[in-house]
Amino acid sequence: MQRIFFLGTGAALPSITQDNSSLLVESNDVLLMVDCSGAPYRKLLRIGVDPVKLKHILITHHHIDHIGGLPSLVECLWIKGRTEPLHIYALPAAMRVVEILLDLWDLRNRPIKEFPIVLHTIEGSQDEPVIESPEFTLRATPTLHAVPSVASKIIFPDGRTLVYSSDTALTPAFIDFARGADFLMMECTYCDEEQELAGITYHLTSKTFSEIASQVQAHHTLLIHHSEQMSCSHEDLTREIVEKHGFKGKFSIPKDLDFIEIE
Ligand SMILES: [Zn+2]
Ligand SMILES: [Zn+2]
């Protein structure tokens, strides 16, 4: 069974209904978390998956809304008695923050029942292979953001493909990377009238989101990393994407803890 859970769908400012963006990919009983926000252990319990099955964590970049939950997750897994290794993947800049966060609470050096935390530094090259496993292949490619960040591509054994932008401005390289995706998940932090802010912070707007989505033409395009408290309503954002910018494909804005099945 292959499922994608939305552990969080908001941008940097969470609300009662939205935590910071984070995804969980489940493929044949192996779990990959993409970014680690809020209280991740509790969210794994709420969606009904066994936290012990979490094997891989990809940190796309070191902004706090993408990495802030990591120490608490590692602490909870330790208390729960984990023995299996946990693999963490990140670019060099983000990996430095991972190490600082883990060492701040001595999470790599527990007196009893320590479990191995294996750190894998990503180079940041174009379409870089990160994980090759029987359950899925993970590839990453650099995006254009305020700090070094990667987009990710998950290829399931049947060839079905999911691409997630994480935080980025519009780049032709990302469109090339995303081409052929069955499921395209993209950030859209701002609506049209916030274009200047999006330029300064290297994020997508409804206009640039629609441009990429129209070119990629995925089977299903999903929008995350948008907080109504920071920007316009989801309703207004949808109106801009579909009516103003004319995006025609299947499109949705998932809610926290929703999931889609890859079948
Ligand atoms: Zn973010
Ligand atoms: Zn960011």
Q: How does DSSP assign 22-45, residue by residue?
A: EEEEEETTEEEEES--SSHHHHHH
Average confidence (pLDDT) over 54-83 = 96
In the prediction, which pLDDT does 160 show?
Answer: 96
Task: Tell me, in angstroms, the distance from the centre of ligand 1 to residue 166's CA.
Answer: 7
Q: What is the pLDDT of residues 30-57, one digit of tens each?
A: 999 999 999 999 999 999 999 989 999 9
In the prediction, which pLDDT does 114 show?
Answer: 79
Task: Tell me, in angstroms, the distance from the centre of ligand 2 to residue 51's CA.
Answer: 26
Task: Tell me, in angstroms, the distance from the centre of ligand 1 to residue 29's CA.
Answer: 28
Ligand nearest to the CA of 145: 2
C-alpha torsion sign, points 42, 48, 52, 56: negative
Q: Which fold has domain 2-255?
A: Metallo-beta-lactamase; Chain A (3.60.15)
CA distance 243 to 134: 42
- Greater confidence (110 vs 178) lies with 178
Task: Tell me, in angstroms, the distance from the centre of ligand 1 to residue 65's CA.
Answer: 5
Ligand nearest to the CA of 35: 1
Task: Tell me, in angstroms, the distance from the centre of ligand 2 to residue 167's CA.
Answer: 5
Which of the residue ranges 59-63, 113-117, 148-152 would you say has the lowest mean pLDDT? 113-117
Average confidence (pLDDT) over 117-142 = 98
113 class by beta-carbon count within 10 Å (0-12 exposed, 13-18 middle, 19+ buried): exposed
In the prediction, which pLDDT does 14 show?
Answer: 93
Model pTM score: 0.97
DSSP 69: T
User: Is the Cβ–Cβ distance between 59 and 51 less than 8 Å?
Assistant: no
> Ion ligand 1 — residues with CB under 5 Å?
65, 167
**Residue 263 banded pLDDT, cuts 50, 70, 90:** confident
User: Is the Cβ–Cβ distance between 250 and 220 less than 8 Å?
Assistant: yes
Task: Tell me, in angstroms, the distance from the centre of ligand 2 to residue 1's CA.
Answer: 31
Task: Tell me, in angstroms, the distance from the centre of ligand 1 to residue 7's CA.
Answer: 14
CA distance 43 to 219: 28
Predicted confidence (pLDDT) at residue 111 exceeds the cutoff of 80: no
Task: Tell me, in angstroms, the distance from the centre of ligand 1 to residue 223's CA.
Answer: 13
Average confidence (pLDDT) over 8-22 = 96
